[in-house]
């Protein structure tokens, strides 16, 4: 009884490395998204636009 499934460790190792690297990148991106959502006020729909309007109003004084 022979096993027909042959595993090529070079290809499997590469696939595993790529999967792990992708998971690391996704976890970093999630951390950055969480930091931005915590830093920016959630109530405002347009925080960047509001910031520039406030800055422009300050210049006009």
What would the two tokens of residue 57 be?
Answer: 């109003």
| 4 is a domain residue | no
CA distance 16 to 9: 10
| 3 is a domain residue | no
Q: Structural domain of residue 39, as residue ranges?
A: 9-60
pTM above 0.85, yes or no: no
- What's the number of domains the chain is made of? 1
| 36 is a domain residue | yes
| 2 is a domain residue | no
What would the pLDDT profile of 6-59 be if each residue is shown by its tens digit? 878 888 999 999 999 999 999 999 999 888 888 876 665 677 888 888 888 887
Binned at pLDDT 50, 70 and 90, residue 1 comes out as low
**In Å, how far from its chain's centre is CA 36?**
11
| 1 is a domain residue | no
């Amino acid at each position: 009884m022979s096993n027909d499934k042959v595993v090529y460790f070079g290809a499997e190792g590469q696939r595993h490395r790529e999967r792990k690297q992708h998971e690391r990148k996704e976890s970093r991106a999630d951390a950055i998204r969480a930091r931005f959502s915590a830093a920016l006020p959630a109530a405002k729909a347009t925080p960047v636009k509001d910031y520039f309007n406030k800055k422009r109003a300050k210049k006009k004084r």
